[in-house]
Structure 1
Amino acid sequence: MKKLMATIAVAACCAAATAQQLPYQNPALTADQRAEDLCGRLTLKEKIKLMRNGSPAIPRLGIPQFEWWSEALHGTARNGFATVFPITTGMAASWNDKLLLDVFTAIGNESRVKGEQAKRSGNIKKYQGLSIWTPNINIFRDPRWGRGQETYGEDPYLTSRMGLAVVEGLQGPKGSRHMKNLACAKHFAVHSGPEWNRHSFNIENLPERDLWETYIPAFKALVQEGDVAEVMCAYQRIDGQPCCGSNRYLQQILRGDLGFKGMVVSDCGAIGDFWIKGRHEVSPDAAAASAKAVLSGTDVECGANYNRLDQAVERGEITEAQIDVSVKRLLKARFMLGDFDDPSLVEWTKLPESIIASKEHKALALKMARETMTLLQNKNGILPLSKNAKIAVMGPNAADSIMMWGNYNGYPTQSTTILQGICAEAASVNYIKGCGYTRNEVIDSRFNEIYTADGKQGMTITYWNNEDMEGAPVAMEVEKQPINKSNGGATVFAPGVNLEHFSACCEGIFRPTRNELIEFTSGSDDKLRVIVNGDTLINQWKPRAKINYGKANLKVEAGKEYSIKIEYVQATDLAAMQFDLGCRIQLTDDAILRSVADADAVIFVGGISPLLEGEEMKVSEPGFKGGDRTDIELPEAQRKVMAMLHKAGKKVIFVNCSGGAIALAPETENCEAIMQAWYPGEQGGKAVAEVLFGDVNPSGRLPMTFYRSTDDLPDFLDYTMRNRTYRYFKGEALFPFGYGLSYTTFNIKNAKYNAKNGKLTATVENTGKRDGAATVQVYISKPDDTEGPIKTLRAYKKTVLKAGERQTIEISLPKESFEWWDKTTNTMRTVAGKYIIHVGQHSQDPAMLTIKTKM
């Protein structure tokens, strides 16, 4: 009996122990303590699973599934509907980091809500997690770089201030019990193109001064001031070592000099570049590459090479204890999110789902779009335009909503194109496309030559509420216009059709009236294929994270019939189905002039597009390579149209859309006004029109130099800062860094600096007749340093002034603002000596005020 009672007692004790919380399950412990405990309970294979971007659940320990790769460059991206704000360079042009904090607070909230939705679904897919791989704080050193649009411009200080706002907005205020999301500063450390050879490119002999004075400062700020949770290492090599396998950059500089305690994640596929033939080839295979990356400090891989880490352990290339260092970091990050805790304990789980693409966030997108508009030229005050004027709108970007979304984008529930914005403002508007991006031609649609089986003009579209085009159809309609459908705004393709998980079949008979070459074009999210007379001309039968575009050519003969079938399948999130066919034609100058004959002004909305510039792209248009540009001139086709209009006596207002600087020297002669509109987001069309017609006074200032021509630029592959950006460029910029016009004028005077308290004061006056925003910019130079920057931004302040109003402003300029390169110690520090403070409205302001001071 005693023996039985003892057995029962032991069993009861064991049951009680099992019911007790394990240390890593205790939310009262620190994230470090919990990570330490949990790491010790994992097998090697389980640890390796956690080090992949798509981390599976580990049920035996209650570890939930996690996805490390999500995006939110300028809005929650690639994850269904979300508010789409202006592209990053555009938001940098606002010079308003307080507004940017509001923007990324909204983005961070939308991302958290979507992350919680995915977690509750039990299946977290790529782009649906709480690890957000933004901001891109690389320096936009060369305007040819296609990904430059993702950055905050060419200046280290402006990039730092903007980057800090992004991090706080995404992660939540410091002192919060849990982090809202994990922000990621990328790409460490010296990366700004080129795209076409990034998997094999080696940066050699970079001067230490350029490294510490230009490429490192924004990372230093986000690590030391912003407590950014993650840093992403870049693709290329530096001095022979891949960035994701560089002890010097990841261990000595990032973790040593900068004191970074968080996680390092790899860029996607970067570890494979270590060993794949034709790339870096510094490792013999995936196992060795993985060991090298982890030992260098890369904690999580975007890719699948880390699956071979156990092989590397067996071969003695790395130990499990060394792997534990990375595992503890990634577990700590997840504990800081509250990922293992009951949702009731995590404050960010209480955000309402109604905030996604909400009315308030759309208003914020419009406010930011207004502040991005940068007026570069306004001859004779032609702007703002009269709303009663007869307006002609022209150009490849005027009616393009997708251009406005930029890259790394989400899907808006509603967009306003620039043409739509102008039509809402002006009483009389005539639209003619005029030309394409790079060619003096447009597509003349032949959709009106398609007929249904019973002879009606148009295509018959049949819908099913499944992904297999099977069973009884739920709807059928005849489409008489080129097909352009999306489920934006929770709009179904047709009554009775699901918003998601449906399919469609479009059928029609094309009866051409002439012999010609027809171009078929399509756009889709998710699957689509175009079949003509039984042959598949366009095949996009694979779901992807964004809209796919396709085109194909076919010679047709008049009098013949061509059976067209379009099969479409929608899986989740965005639904988009686009189709047209037509003939490429060139519009003659006479035809264009006839179309704008009675116009008081022509608004030409041109530039380039995210379809042409971006990350590692395949682009067949002239002037582009791998997503980068080979030159920075405006494409000749657009340039010729505006020159022709000017010669004919038309007043041309040029609205340029691009992610980076365009050389616009001829346009300053051929256009009355030039406005840089960037890629302005879902509300961009309204913002552009409001500025053109005077409802809004433009306040954008350039975050980069607009050069006169490609000839002003050094070799794209040269990473030294010689003759690059306003800080080192010795030529004459077309539009300098910090430049931007207003419909009013400002005057700055009485600039004074108090070295004791580190405060600069100045009087700013609105000397015009309209309310407006002045941006006072403070630069510093060191006259005895002939090798350093000509001047470098160290402070700024944007101030709204009523017409005739005068304000005395105060700007903080502490001792740390005078950090300079010390060649005796090879460090950045406040070097004793003479400095000049420059106070003005842009970097080459002829009215710049100067103050001499000593440190």
Structure 2
Amino acid sequence: FLPALREGVAVAVMPSYNLVNGRPAHLSPLINDVLRAAAPDELMVVSDAMAPGNLVDPQHYYDDHATAYAHALRAGIDSFTQDDDRAEATLAHLRDALDRGLITEEDLDRAATHILSVRVRLGEFDPEPLRRVDPDTVNSPAHQALARTAARRSIVLLKNDGILPLRDPRRIAVIGQLADTLMEDWYSGTLPYAITARAGLAERTETVFCEGVDRIALRTNEGYLTASADGTPMTITPAPGFGPVAESAAFDLFDWGGAWALRAVVNGRYVSEDENGHLTNDQPGPNGWEVRQTFRWQPDPNGTGVLQHIATGRYVAVGDNNTVTLTPDADSAAVFAIDTLRSGATEAAAIAATAEVAIVVAGDHPLVNGRETEDRTDLDLPAAQEKVLRAVRAANPATVLVLTSGYPFGIVWADEHIPAILWSAHGGQEYGRALADVLFGDADPTGRLTQTWYRSAAELPDLFDYDIIANDATYLYYLGSPLYPFGHGLSYTTFDYTDPEVHVTDDHVTVHVTVTNTGDRFGEEVVQCYTHQRVSRVKQPLRKLQGFARVALHPGESRRVRIDFPIHALAIWDVTRSRFVVEDAPRTVHLGRSAKDLRVCAPLNVPGEPIGPRPATRLHAADNDEYHGVVLCAAAKDRGDAVRATEPGAWIAFLDVDFTPAPKEAVICANTDQPGTLTLRIDNPISGPTVATADIPAATDHFDFTEVRIPVDSVTRRHDLYIVFEAAGTALAWIDLS
């Protein structure tokens, strides 16, 4: 976040709900030590919703709210988002903290000043005529044109075997769960109008449409799950002995990847939970801060299964008088068989076969898949959507996949079999027209990926392992061949790069390169500039984006493109001195179309400083160079980090430690819930010579770190120091061998 704060383009940050190094993020010293240091007078820090209360329950970090709020305020939180618009409890907690001496009036003044500074700069206190917005400007033609431009520029062409741009097809089949809808999320506001993919394409040519969802009935031994036209509580209706299933028992099944939404055919409304715990079909779709219209199917070996309500974790069950309720007891859940009344894939294939081109619009639902409680276990396209895509491709080889989502998919099959693939996030009210502009070639696709698209989740680290360096993760360190690399995005034309030049001034690097449109169409290129440090004390990224520039070129046209970035963007975090350092090292500048499509390079020489050996004084455990089997944790309530072993034989390493003069003893600050041992070895954590052993006494409190003095065998000159944790649960804050 530092570049945005340093440049003043961001004026507020919001900590997250989770822990950082074992401490709630809202209490992290990083807020004041790092973020405010980057923008000392400009930054406002707001809490996430309900996070202040979480410090007491469920995180149990402090015993009472006054203490928790006081420490959050002192840690840098300026604004408390708690209890919706009811401020009384928050103000009471802060008054209590003030009365108890946990905070001072200066602490309150400082937070209020940060908030008022932003409000003044926003013009909130300006005279009314200066702040009034003419209603005619809202959703004006200029705004609509801007929305279309923004949506168009965000579309990324992932693959194209030549089918695009479309060559005036007489009929297009538009297919998929997202083909005729536009999604909003909690922060998007309300769309003033909606041009869907279907609507945008229909303005250009004849279209036929198919939602491509299965129509099903859910049958128990007692009868069918049944909806009503007026959305009253649902029931189980006895199955007819013969004949078709009644319309009231039919539901359209929307697969959002591990989450199902059911739309009642009888009234077009979605199944949800009402305030009395009954199921009703009265909602326009998944909605609300906590979505209550989704279910998880849990199949059994018999081909039947139960439905779990995702928001509550409870199960669909049959209650009194055949009403449908939710129960916490899985054994009491209703067991359903699924009767497929109409196959979405079969219907989609039939529609696709009638058109010259088939456009399948697939992806996610922001409200269903897009919140912090909904983690994915794979990168697959939702199974039902994948089935539709494959059926359409079999029926019509001229198939284009349009992905609309907030995250990548591992669409390996699609990449191998679908002629053209595009992606964008949910694009706002003009999305359909913007998509048509790109598909028909009115605009060159100019979006670029801001993430690496992996082939499968097997290429990713554990969900809770955030060490991208050790795991070779993200475009910075990934050694494999991604499905689509960071920065990827194709054009309808081709570009060539020549004559790179690099100039270094006192504090800036300027890179020039000539870009030529070598194709036969007008196009826009996004020139990307990466750097690589070839020698370093630490593991370096394979490439790191330092800047980019957009250039529009006619066929045969060339232009000299310039990209600037500050020298401090080359800095690394030096754990030996706990600060950023531009290392004295050779570097290379690479220029190209993506992190994996780099066309030209040039040497980069900037002034830097060497990183010498570590002194043996006060080595903080969290500042280790390498580790195995440890996690970061808090060394004290307010500040200070430590590492705790998660398994016997865990270790941390301090590389290139200078033991001059030779230490005679070591002071170790450690903690353990049962007696533990730390072993100090040099040069190897398993076979290296042992220079000291420390027995750590047990403590009842994880924050009760004890200082232990131990003798050290003779060790001189420079060595790698390994501290081995002989038992799980032992934590180390620091060691001093001076």
**Given the two structures, how large is their TM-score scaled by the length of structure 1?**
0.56
CA distance in structure 2 between the partners assigned to 1:741 and 1:423 by the alignment: 25
Residue aligning to 1:250 = 31
2:66 paired with 1:287: yes
Candidates 703, 717, 723, aligned match of 2:450: 703
CA distance in structure 2 between the partners assigned to 1:356 and 1:589 by the alignment: 41
DSSP 3-state at the match of 2:46: strand
Change (3 A) 1:317 1:369: same
Residue aligning to 2:76 = 297
Residue aligning to 2:159 = 377
CA-to-aligned-CA distance 1:202-240 (integer Å, 9 cap, x gap): xxxxxxxxxxxxxxxx2x223222164332222222223
Residue aligning to 1:765 = 516
Change (3 A) 1:412 1:227: closer
Residue aligning to 1:314 = 99
| Alpha carbons 1:251, 1:296 under 8 Å: kept | yes
DSSP 3-state at the match of 1:704: coil
CA distance in structure 2 between the partners assigned to 1:442 and 1:696 by the alignment: 38
CA distance in structure 1 between the partners assigned to 2:273 and 2:48 by the alignment: 35
Equivalences for residues 550-699 of structure 1 within 5 A: 550=293, 585-587=341-343, 591-616=347-372, 626-648=373-395, 650-699=397-446
- Letter of the 2:30 counterpart: Y
Candidates 165, 168, 173, aligned match of 1:387: 168
Change (3 A) 1:654 1:331: closer
Alpha-carbon offset, residue 677 of structure 1:
2.6
| Alpha carbons 1:393, 1:419 under 8 Å: kept | yes
Candidates 809, 818, 834, aligned match of 2:586: 834
CA distance in structure 2 between the partners assigned to 1:770 and 1:387 by the alignment: 17
| Alpha carbons 2:591, 2:601 under 8 Å: kept | yes
CA-to-aligned-CA distance 1:172-228 (integer Å, 9 cap, x gap): xxxxxxxxxxxxxxxxxxxxxxxxxxxxxxxxxxxxxxxxxxxxxx2x223222164
**Given the two structures, how large is their TM-score scaled by the length of structure 2?**
0.64
Residue aligning to 1:74 = none
Question: Larger relative contact order (C-alpha < 8 A, sep ≥ 6)?
Answer: 1
| Alpha carbons 2:26, 2:75 under 8 Å: kept | yes
Residue aligning to 2:210 = 432
- Letter of the 1:683 counterpart: E
CA distance in structure 1 between the partners assigned to 2:464 and 2:282 by the alignment: 37
Residue aligning to 2:620 = none
Candidates 104, 107, 115, aligned match of 1:330: 115
2:712 paired with 1:712: no
CA distance in structure 1 between the partners assigned to 2:116 and 2:510 by the alignment: 43
CA distance in structure 1 between the partners assigned to 2:120 and 2:546 by the alignment: 37
2:140 paired with 1:358: yes
CA distance in structure 2 between the partners assigned to 1:854 and 1:325 by the alignment: 40
DSSP 3-state at the match of 2:66: helix
Equivalences for residues 339-358 of structure 1 within 5 A: 339-340=124-125, 342-344=127-129, 347=130, 349-358=131-140
Change (3 A) 1:588 1:771: closer
DSSP 3-state at the match of 1:629: coil
Alpha-carbon offset, residue 814 of structure 1:
4.3
Structure with more of its chain in strand, by fraction: 2
Residue aligning to 2:7 = 225
Aligned-pair Cα RMSD in Å: 3.8
State the aligned residue count. Answer: 525
Alpha-carbon offset, residue 846 of structure 1:
5.3
Q: Which moved more, 1:280-289 or 1:596-605?
A: 596-605
CA distance in structure 2 between the partners assigned to 1:709 and 1:768 by the alignment: 34
| Alpha carbons 1:677, 1:688 under 8 Å: kept | no
Residue aligning to 1:124 = none
2:552 paired with 1:800: yes
Residue aligning to 2:541 = 789
CA distance in structure 2 between the partners assigned to 1:590 and 1:222 by the alignment: 49
| Alpha carbons 1:538, 1:551 under 8 Å: kept | no
Asked which structure has the greater CA Rg, the reply is 2
CA distance in structure 1 between the partners assigned to 2:572 and 2:272 by the alignment: 59
CA-to-aligned-CA distance 1:11-34 (integer Å, 9 cap, x gap): xxxxxxxxxxxxxxxxxxxxxxxx
Equivalences for residues 493-532 of structure 1 within 5 A: 514-516=244-246, 517-519=249-251, 521=263
Alpha-carbon offset, residue 536 of structure 1:
7.8
CA distance in structure 2 between the partners assigned to 1:732 and 1:850 by the alignment: 24
Q: Which moved more, 1:749-758 or 1:390-399?
A: 749-758
Alpha-carbon offset, residue 551 of structure 1:
8.2
| Alpha carbons 2:175, 2:361 under 8 Å: kept | yes
Residue aligning to 1:263 = 44
- Letter of the 1:374 counterpart: V
Residue aligning to 1:420 = 199
- Letter of the 1:363 counterpart: A
| Alpha carbons 1:600, 1:650 under 8 Å: kept | no
Alpha-carbon offset, residue 273 of structure 1:
1.0
| Alpha carbons 1:705, 1:725 under 8 Å: kept | yes
Candidates 715, 725, 729, aligned match of 2:474: 725
| Alpha carbons 1:244, 1:266 under 8 Å: kept | yes
Residue aligning to 2:177 = 396
- Letter of the 1:691 counterpart: V
* Structure 1, gaps ≥5 residues long: 1-217, 436-440, 445-457, 461-482, 484-511, 556-581, 617-625
Percentage identity across paired residues of the two chains: 29
| Alpha carbons 1:406, 1:681 under 8 Å: kept | no
| Alpha carbons 1:388, 1:426 under 8 Å: kept | yes
Equivalences for residues 133-172 of structure 1 within 5 A: none
Structure with more of its chain in helix, by fraction: 1
| Alpha carbons 1:819, 1:830 under 8 Å: kept | yes
